[in-house]
Amino acid sequence: MPSDGILFQNAKVVDGSGKPRFRADVAIEGNLIIGIGKGLKNPGRVIDAEGLILSPGFVNIHGHSDSTILMNPRSESLLMQGVTTEVIGNCGFGLAPLRKET
The residue ranges of DSSP E strands in 1-102, in sequence order, are 5-13, 22-29, 32-37, 44-48, 53-54, 58-60, 83-86
Q: Tens digits of per-residue pLDDT, 57-97? A: 999 998 877 777 778 878 788 888 899 888 887 877 777 66
Cβ–Cβ < 8 Å for 26, 13: yes
Intervals of CATH 2.30.40.10 along the chain: 5-54
> Is this model's pTM higher than 0.75 or not?
no
CATH class of 5-54: mainly beta
Q: Tens digits of per-residue pLDDT, 15-26? A: 999 999 999 999
Closest CA to 8 of 52, 74, 57: 52
